[in-house]
Amino acid sequence: MSDKKNRHRHKSHYGKSFLILPIVFFMGTYLVLYLALAPAFSIFFSASGLFFADFEKNYSTEYDNIFVPVSENSTIPTVDKNSQTLLDINAIEYPQYGNQFGEILIEDCGVDAKLFFGDGDIALRNGVGIYSGSFIPGYGRTILVAGHNNTYFNGLKNAKPGQIVTIKTSYGNYTYEITKTAVKNQASRKAFDLNADHENLIMYTCYPFDELGLTRERYFVYAKYVSGTQIDTDIVEGD
């Protein structure tokens, strides 16, 4: 009787080892690998996280257009500060890199192009782009705009002091007056000042205009601010 009981007890425990031991082996294998490889490969495992995004990459070459022309009787929320009427920054949709957010027009030069935030390939293929390290109109700082000399900025070769540049955005229209033009080396650090504390527009393109090849010089067109409602940036700077 006890023999049969022992046999049955043995039977009831018997199959469990075929489940438990493989799981133990599985955990043991990864433990051994971890102990053996972690010191040498931990840096690669940490770095591997840099190669993955949180979502699948979008390979579309389409761009987002957030530009809606401001009509004459539209009202954008403003604030009054220091006897100045400023645009409420919270009412403005700040463009993301690659967005078309406006248009730039120089009638006297025949320049009429879409204005993008960012000067990447898609922006310069479809219009002209603001260097993302500079500012957008209304911020009271330097706006640096790039474009190709054989497409949208070909008209800059006709730029002369006194000509008017108009930038249209969803939050307002801005005008600038060209003050001077200059040819400088592409690596010149004196060509523009991104730290200037007054609103100014700088447009640049490759020079000479009709030369074939990648040139090392750039043609700069400088313009001073004339009109357009400034943005209340105090909130941003205070925070």
Partner 1 sequence: MGHKSRSKVKSVIYTLLAFIMSVLMFLLSFAITLQVTILSPDFLLDNMNSTNYFVEKYQEIVQKLTDLGNAGGLDKSFFDDLLNPVEIYDDTEIYLEEYYSGKSTVVDTTEFRQNFNNALDKYIEENNIQNVDSESREYLVKNASGIYRSSVEVPFFSSASTYILALAKIMPFVIAGLCVMIAAIVLIIVFTNSWRHRALKYLCYATSGATLTVGVIPAFVFMSGKIQQINISSRALYTVFVQCANSVMISLLLVAAVLLIISLTLFFTHMNIRKKLINS
Residues near partner 1 (CB under 8 A): 7, 17-18, 21-26, 28-30, 32, 51-57, 59, 61, 121, 124-125, 148-151, 206, 208, 210-216
Residue 138: closest CA among 195, 180, 71, 198: 198
Contact indicator for 194, 143 with CB cutoff of 8 Å: no
In the block, tokens 């109109």 appear at 137
Reduced to 3 states (helix: H, G, I; strand: E, B; else coil), residue 135 is: coil
The backbone region for 98, taken as left when phi is positive above 0, alpha when psi lies in -120 to 50, beta otherwise, is left
For partner 1, give the closer residue by CB, 30 or 94: 30
Backbone angles phi, psi at 123, to 5 degrees: -65, -50
For partner 1, give the closer residue by CB, 184 or 224: 184
Compute the least distance from the CB of residue 144 to partner 1, in Å.
17
For partner 1, give the closer residue by CB, 22 or 110: 22
Compute the least distance from the CB of residue 21 to partner 1, in Å.
5
Compute the least distance from the CB of residue 85 to partner 1, in Å.
41
Compute the least distance from the CB of residue 174 to partner 1, in Å.
27
For partner 1, give the closer residue by CB, 33 or 76: 33
Reduced to 3 states (helix: H, G, I; strand: E, B; else coil), residue 201 is: strand
